[in-house]
Structure 1
Amino acid sequence: MKYKNIILSCMGVVVLGVGGGYIMQRQHHATSSVSSTSSSRASESSQKVDLPDTAKADNATLILVNKQHVLDHELDFEKSEMNGIQYSQEIDGPLRKFLNDAKKAGHPATLVSGYRSKKYQEQVLNENVQQNINNGMTESEAKKATHAVIQTPGASEHQTGLAVDVMTDEYWKQYHQLESDSDKTEGQKWLIKHAPDYGFVLRYPKSEAAKKSTGIDYESWHFRYVGVENAKYMTKHKLTLEEYDDLIQGQSTK
């Protein structure tokens, strides 16, 4: 399925050319609340292997942001930048190594999106509503359509600076679109397979169980930094961050 694209830049200014931070992407789906399936799957997984030492409720890299866990303020963190795109300084080393190793493996990739402020997310949402109205929708229809494909301000984990959208050049340079079928390319397959080695997880996996847990459709490009130990554990046990958070919270109350 093809999706209509929104042209963005991390600083709110469109910059022509990929090297200058040119961004074209489909925003996250804002959907229903986390299912109880998360808790049951998480409970089953907790009995297989002890959680990593870094799986702690106070580990800032594991912060959960979604429709049920909204950030009502900007987080205070140092930022790094790559090709005009900002992200948390904490992930600068792992991200650069991830991309460099992908290139060495014959799969060069592009950082498409990183940090987005709450204010900028609101701008994106409002502009999409207006675009829908301009295309003939009523205001009510426009808002409904927008909320179906764009996260509301404070609910996007891009606000943490720990989430990045990364697309293999094999797909990005041809289509300039963030689409799930990019996973048919060898480059995106490499990124998805090796992301945990650098501390990243594919945040919205390809399964009905994952969709019920996150409330968001499969996204083959959206990676979230959680640290190597956590990433490998989550991937091994096929846990979303929502499910992993359930495990951690359960452990902290024992």
Structure 2
Amino acid sequence: MVGRRQIWQKITLIVIVIVVGIIIISFLQPTRKKAQMQTTTTSKAVSQDSGLPKQASVSDWQLILVNKQHARQSEIPFTHVTVDDKQMDKRIVAPLAAFRQAAQRAGYATTLVSAYRSIAYQTQVYDQSIAQHEANGMTHDQAVKLTQTVIQTPGSSEHQTGLAVDLAGTDAVAKYPQLMAQMDEFKSQQWLIQHAPAYGFILRYPSDKQAISETGIDYESWHFRYVGIDNAQYITKHHLTLEKYLSQLGQR
């Protein structure tokens, strides 16, 4: 009897140890999972923020966003300065001059085709484009649809920021005075696109499908936007649009 009692006592003790072990494991498991989730979340945040210009902020003046989703029905205040009969924000005059002078030294003359446009003028450009397409035989709806692939609706054009310029090699403008994507066939335009970030400019509307989807505008090899050197170099290096870049800044 004594032997059997000792055996049952041992069995009972083993069972108790097993039960206690299960309880302890069950208690610790959620804590471990929570810690793992926190670590994963932190890692993702660090990865997403990695490399972004430290001083950049979505509220910076040079990062103002104007597009169809961020339209403005009133003029944006800035100090207007005239360059080559084109108005622009005073703050981009020096970097634009440096950009064009560098192109000149490289052997490429440039033409400033357009810069600031008021909402009223953008309305005129927009309406003229529709009228031209209609004159060529399109229906009104077809004309509007085609126009909106290359011209922003009034209030949604970033030309009204004073920070955007249509800049091209003089030889490219001579062949394509109406501004065409094919202007990038010229070495002058290729040089401008390649070196723009060094002077704080980005090619605002790239040619890849993802970029077109994000901007809503077809490829424009002549349209440059000032965003500041650090921002421009990061955006270009990582093949981002301004829309995507601002989204990343807003998440850090």
TM range (shorter): 0.7 to 0.9
Deviation at 1:53, TM superposition (A): 2.7
Following TM superposition, the consecutive aligned residue runs of length 4 or more in structure 1 with deviations greater than 6 angstroms are none
**Are 1:116 and 2:114 matched, yes or no?**
no
1:171 maps onto 2:172 in alignment: yes
Rounded to whole Å, the distance in 2 between the matches of 1:85 and 1:199 is 19
State the match for 1:197 in structure 2. Answer: 198
How far 1:148 moved relative to its partner?
4.3
Equivalent position SS for 1:155: coil
Cα displacement (A) at 1:142? 4.3
CA distance in 2, matches of 1:141, 1:202: 28
Alpha-carbon distance in 2 for matches of 1:146, 1:111: 22
State the match for 2:131 in structure 1: 130
In 2, the alpha carbon distance for the partners of 1:76 and 1:223 equals 20
SS in 2 for 1:53: coil
Displacement of 1:185: 1.4
2:183 aligns with: 182
Q: Give SS of 1:178's match.
A: coil
Cα offsets for 1:75-132 (capped at 9, x unmatched)? 1101111221111111000001100110011011111110001111112222333344
Cα distance between partner residues in 1 of 2:83 and 2:172 = 20
Give the drift of 1:235: 0.7
Listed one character per residue, the Cα deviations across residues 182-220 of structure 1 (whole Å, up to 9, x for unaligned) are 112111111011100000000111211111211211111
Partner of 2:151: 150
Question: Residue 95 of structure 2 aligns with which residue?
Answer: 94
How far apart are 1:46 and its partner, in Å?
5.6
Find the residue that maps to 2:87 and give its secondary structure: strand
TM-score, structure 1 normalization: 0.76
Conserved? CA contact 2:53–2:230, under 8 Å: yes
Counterpart for residue 32 of structure 2: none
Distance 1:104 1:193, change over 3 A: same
Q: Secondary structure at the match of 2:220?
A: coil
| C-alpha contact 2:235 2:241 (8 A) present in aligned 1 | yes
Q: CA distance change for structure 1 residues 176 and 135 in 2, over 3 Å: closer, same or farther?
A: closer
Query: Of the two structures, which has the highest relative contact order with CA contacts closer than 8 Å and spacing of 6 or more?
Result: 1
- Quote the Cα distance in structure 1 between the aligned partners of 2:69 and 2:47: 23
Q: For structure 1, which segment, 136-145 or 84-93, has the greater mean C-alpha deviation from structure 2 after superposition?
A: 136-145
TM-score scaled by length of structure 2: 0.76
Letter in 1 for 2:190: K
3-state SS in 2 of match to 1:220? strand
Give me the whole-angstrom Cα distance separating, in 2, the residues matched to 1:79 and 1:104: 28
* Whole-angstrom CA distance in 2 between matches of 1:67 and 1:88: 22
1:64-103 correspondence to structure 2 within 5 Å: 64-103=65-104
Judged with a 3 Å threshold, the aligned counterparts in structure 2 of structure 1 residues 176 and 55 are, in CA distance, closer, same or farther, namely same
| CA displacement, residues 203-254 of structure 1 (integer Å, 9 cap, x when unaligned) | 1112111112112111111000000000001111111100001011112xxx
Q: Equivalent residue of 1:47, what SS?
A: helix
Q: Please say if residues 54 and 229 of structure 1, whose CA atoms lie closer than 8 Å, have aligned partners that are also in contact.
A: no
* Displacement after TM superposition at 1:138 (Å): 4.8
> What are the ranges of 5 or more consecutive residues in structure 2 without an aligned counterpart?
1-43
| 8 Å Cα contact 2:205-2:219 kept in structure 1 | yes
User: Identity of counterpart residues, as a percentage?
Assistant: 49
Aligned length in residues? 209
The residue number in structure 1 matching 2:58 is 57
1:224-239 to 2 correspondence within 5 Å? 224-239=225-240
Which residue identity lines up with residue 210 of structure 2 in the other structure? A
Letter of the 2:196 counterpart: A
> Letter of the aligned partner of 1:172 in structure 2?
V
Gaps of 5+ in 1: 1-42
Q: Secondary structure at the match of 2:97?
A: helix
Q: Which of the two has higher C-alpha Rg?
A: 2
